[in-house]
Amino acid sequence: MIQEKPKDVLPIGASRLNIYGVPGVSYGYQWGQSDVTILLVHGWGANSTSLFSMTRLLLKAGFKVVAFDAPAHGIAPGKVTSLTAYQNAVKAVIGQVGDVVGIIAHSLGGIVATGAMHELQKENENTVKNICIISAPASLPAVINRWTKYTVPLNDKVQEAMNKELWRRNGVPVEHWNIAKLAAPMDNLNCLVIHDQDDSTVPFCEATSLANTLNEPLTFFTTGLGHIRILSDANVVQKIIDFMSPLAERQNGKCHKEGVLL
């Protein structure tokens, strides 16, 4: 069965956000007019619609929300892309929007978003200190090792050739894509790791690895939601709001009562 390409229509309540200088990404979506922004970064093989369920409460908490489809994903043209291309798109959007204070990233989007923050950190331009990583693998090698062991078994020689090709396409070795190592140089990074214990796409051991290797992350673990339903679960979304909302309250001078969004 061939999956239909998403229609080029604006999501409910969104306005179009033109994105410049990013090959394969000409625009995204924006909700709200606040001067504090949360960027949504979807997973590999998905598109920005997978995270739309979070926009309403983020708006209520005082944020502007921005999302876009990665190169060769969703409505974006093309059939082939790379982690580096997606990372560069995230990096460009952060720079263009200018007031991104937090990122919510799903699955491989967690590696991509952390990579973009890492690159901006090297350039002394990273202003994003808060990231929520949902159902993400700890590293790309972990993904490849599982895939070549359980999905399409490959011998060592073929896997080595594949890793070299990925290095050529991305400009960095596969070992580069490691969330904890990418995050290590970032001062005062606040991280919330969310994962379901029954995730059959990215196993729960990846979350425990992140919990043990990141610098004092907050964690929230669920049961029975899997890899996709976790994105629309009310308790998960509320946990994200609780993590991010103080950023909007400090910026906007709002008063707040513990556990209640005003």
Q: Domain check: are 93 and 30 in the same one?
A: yes
First to last CA, the chain: 46
Q: Which of 117, 149, 176 delimits the end of a domain?
A: 176
Q: For position 262, what pLDDT does the model report?
A: 27
- Kindly state whether residues 170 and 210 are assigned to the same domain: no
For residues 124 and 241, state if they share a domain. yes
In a domain, 256, yes or no: no
Q: Among residues 176, 193, 224, which one ends one of the domains?
A: 176
Residue 147 backbone phi and psi in degrees, to 5: -65, -45
**Same-domain pairing of 69 and 151:** no
- Within 10 angstroms of residue 197's Cβ, the number of other Cβ atoms is 14
Give the max Cα distance, the chain: 60
Q: Considering the entire predicted model, what is its pTM?
A: 0.89
Q: b vs e for 33-48, b when ≥16 Cβ sit within 10 Å of the residue's Cβ? A: ebebbbbbbbbbebbb
Kindly state whether residues 82 and 167 are assigned to the same domain: no
Q: What is the DSSP letter of 37?
A: E
In this structure, the answer to whether residues 148 and 29 fall within a common structural domain is no
Same domain, 92 and 203: yes
Q: For the chain, what is the domain count? A: 2
Give yes or no: residues 55 and 164 share one domain.
no
- Structural domain that includes position 160: 140-176
Provide the CA 139 distance to its chain's centre, in angstroms: 14
Work out whether the CA dihedral 173, 83, 163, 215 comes out positive or negative.
positive
Question: pLDDT digit of tens for each residue in the chain (262 aa)?
Answer: 345 566 677 888 999 999 988 888 989 999 999 999 999 999 999 999 999 999 999 999 999 999 999 999 988 988 888 999 999 999 999 999 989 999 999 999 999 999 999 999 999 888 899 999 999 999 999 988 887 877 777 788 888 888 898 889 889 999 999 999 999 999 889 999 999 999 999 999 999 999 999 999 999 999 999 999 999 999 999 999 999 988 776 555 543 333 333 2
Count CA atoms within 13 Å of residue 141 on its CB side: 11
CA distance 66 to 123: 23
- 167: in domain: yes
**One domain, residues 34 and 158:** no
Angstrom CA distances, 53 to 136, 238, 251, stand at: 18, 11, 24
Distance CA 157, CA 140 (A): 18
Q: Count other Cβ atoms within 10 Å, centred on residue 229.
A: 12
Q: Considering the domain boundaries, does residue 154 fall inside one?
A: yes
